[in-house]
Amino acid sequence: MRNLKRPTRKQKKRIQKAKLDWKNWLVVSETEEELVLYNKKSERRRTVK
């Protein structure tokens, strides 16, 4: 797995628009179309568009 990073301010807003709590998520990768996230607690991956 790649190095996971804390979300930036823009990424936090994008995560909140998806109705998720940004405090529980780390960023795996980001492109213009999608943001791949990793949940700290449940260890699940999720893609936000």
Report the DSSP beta bridge partners of residue 26: 38
Token output for 35: 């943001």
pLDDT reported for residue 2 = 74
Note the pTM of the prediction, 2 decimals.
0.87
Q: What strands lie across the sheet with 35-39, from one edge to the other?
A: 25-30, 35-39, 45-48
Digit-coded pLDDT (tens) for 6-33? 999 999 999 999 999 999 999 999 999 9
Nearest to 48 by CA among 24, 10, 23, 20: 20
Given pLDDT bands bounded at 50, 70 and 90, which one contains residue 46?
very high
48 touches 28 (CB < 8 A):
no
**How many whole angstroms separate alpha carbon 29 and alpha carbon 8?**
12
pLDDT of 1 reads 65
Q: Who wins on pLDDT, 2 or 7?
A: 7
